[in-house]
Structure 1
Amino acid sequence: MSQPKKVLIIIPCYNEAASIGPLLRELYSLTIDENFELKAAVINDCSTDNTADVVRRFSDAVLLDLPVNLGIGGAMQTGFKYAYENGFDYAIQADGDGQHPVSVIPDLLSEAEKGNCDIVIGSRFLEKKGFQSSTARRAGIRYFKQLNRALTGITVTDNTSGFRLFNKRALELSVQYYPDKYPEPESIIVFALNGLTIKEIPVEMNERQGGVSSISAFSAVYYMCKVTLGIFYTFMRLKTQFKWQRSRSSLSLQVYSS
């Protein structure tokens, strides 16, 4: 009998003491196919509440305490590195605030197992059920959908969704580089320009069960401007890098031929 595939659930947390306990209980009571083995890794991003103490009550969960606050991008890259270095086949990002329904994890894995994608994103907008976020944030999501489509040619309806599955190929790329402050829409550019394939499945999101949104202090306009700059910077950096690599390959071929 073959060994089950290892799946790491990466949960970035900042002051999620009220929601992380119920989330972990739900996760470890989840009925999963015997071909998979789940493990949770909570990335405690310098919480000032007792998030870490709550996580320590769960002996099956890995607690990674960051010495400094890295933000969502840095916290996720910490989880990616742990997954990659410990031989996990898949990593799934699930927010610590309870918005992401862990009951959909088998559906993410099922889509990934079909073998035609590197990343699976849970989208609240494919069937438009469940919590749909605020009007301002929905406008921002539509804007980023159009921007990403213009730059990459692909459409992701819920490009700010943090409910994502990564296979080994996506993990290897994310270990090398993952966007920092607002990684979800920006990482679409990284994945697309590196040839990774993305699929979406419908998900009914929940309202936040506790804690405070990481972008609640920023206006929608400021957020959109800052992320737009990040997206364009990433796009131009990668396009320049690929152009240099092609130029170098062409030069090497000419030298070899001569």
Structure 2
Amino acid sequence: MSSLPSATHLVLIPSYNPGKKILETIRAAREVWSPVWVVVDGSTDGSTEWLRELAKNDDGLTILELPQNAGKGSAVLFGLDEAAKQGFTHALCMDADGQHPADLIPAFMQASQTHPEAMVLGKPVFDASAPALRVNGRKVSNWWANLETMGMGVGDSLFGFRIYPVAALRDIMHRQKWMRRFDFDPEAVVRLCWYGVPPINFPAPVKYFEASEGGVSHFNYWRDNKLLTWMHFRLMVEFMIRLPVLAVKRMGYQRIPFSR
């Protein structure tokens, strides 16, 4: 396992009823990075006890717990607040369900350390396991996100495997009440672009697991797409209000070249 903990960059995993896949996810992340933090978002599937047991013998693993389910964004913010108290400047967020490529954590961290002013966004590379409805549906959110950011170069607005600057994201989230549930990932990207944080996009394979493979999904097509629609409506209204200022910022914006 990774034995040299970083003092600036940590892996942050929000977790809600993830099933046994969370243990595979943590072991894979710990093989390549330290520290790894898990924020248990009011889980009721027994995973909290598994995680506590795992952390007993691993100094590089920290378990934070919320008493009730508050949503992905709330869990991430809770972790970011604790990270800021300990001096961390960047957090790589990844899902607990094993879909994200833990082996790419070092490459993402290196990009972030080279460009600490940026956010490093995973751009998903789908295989045959990906549901066509979700692959095609995310194109709509991506189109809106790039419109709302005036083409700053958001490769994918929904993919949760990414690195955030802690101070900027905390400031954004503590200023408003949104971004607490499924709307967290796309709204975080848009608002960070407005904040002046440029994106760097890295391709990253994503794997969807069947229930027979231990896969767990809390995605609800109607509920979550309704939430995304409301989110983009809000962002477009605010975008039009912000447009004069954003246009001036955009004129001086320099895209960070992709490199790997």
In the other structure, the counterpart of 2:85 is 85
In the other structure, the counterpart of 1:21 is 23
Distance 2:196 2:227 in 1: 25
Post-superposition offset of 1:19: 1.1
Task: Please state whether the residue corresponding to 2:22 is helix, strand or coil.
Answer: helix
1:141 equivalent to 2:141? Answer no
Q: How many residues align?
A: 230
Distance 1:53 1:142 in 2: 38
Q: Is the 8 A contact 2:126 2:207 kept in 1?
A: no
Distance 2:225 2:154 in 1: 17
Structure with bigger gyration radius: 1
Distance 1:103 1:170 in 2: 26
In the other structure, the counterpart of 1:62 is 62
Distance 1:236 1:157 in 2: 22
User: What is the identity, as a one-letter code, of the residue corresponding to 1:206?
Assistant: K
Post-superposition offset of 1:4: 4.9
Q: Residue 121 and residue 134 in structure 1: after superposition, are their counterparts in 2 closer, same or farther (change >3 A)?
A: same
Deviations 1:217-243, CA, capped at 9 Å, x for gaps: 333xx5334312112214434765898
User: What is the identity, as a one-letter code, of the residue corresponding to 2:48?
Assistant: A
Post-superposition offset of 1:51: 0.9
Distance 1:12 1:74 in 2: 9
| Residue segments in structure 2 that go unaligned for 5+ positions in a row | 246-260
Counterparts of residues 199-218 of structure 1 (less than 5 Å): 199-208=200-209, 210-215=214-219, 217-218=220-221
Distance 2:172 2:13 in 1: 16
Q: CA RMSD in A?
A: 2.6
Counterparts of residues 1-258 of structure 1 (less than 5 Å): 4-30=6-32, 38-57=34-53, 58-59=55-56, 60=59, 61-115=61-115, 117-124=117-124, 128=125, 130=127, 133-154=130-151, 155-174=153-172, 176-177=174-175, 179-182=179-182, 183-208=184-209, 210-215=214-219, 217-219=220-222, 223-237=224-238, 240=241
Q: Is the 8 A contact 1:120 1:199 kept in 2?
A: yes
Distance 1:15 1:231 in 2: 28
TM-score (norm 2): 0.78
Distance 1:53 1:27 in 2: 19
Post-superposition offset of 1:180: 1.7
User: What is the identity, as a one-letter code, of the residue corresponding to 1:156?
Assistant: V
Q: Is the 8 A contact 1:190 1:235 kept in 2?
A: no
Q: Residue 184 and residue 39 in structure 1: after superposition, are their counterparts in 2 closer, same or farther (change >3 A)?
A: same
In the other structure, the counterpart of 2:249 is none
| Residue segments in structure 1 that go unaligned for 5+ positions in a row | 33-37, 245-258
Distance 2:132 2:242 in 1: 37
Post-superposition offset of 1:24: 1.7
Q: Residue 101 and residue 174 in structure 1: after superposition, are their counterparts in 2 closer, same or farther (change >3 A)?
A: farther
Q: Report the identity percentage.
A: 24
Post-superposition offset of 1:143: 0.7
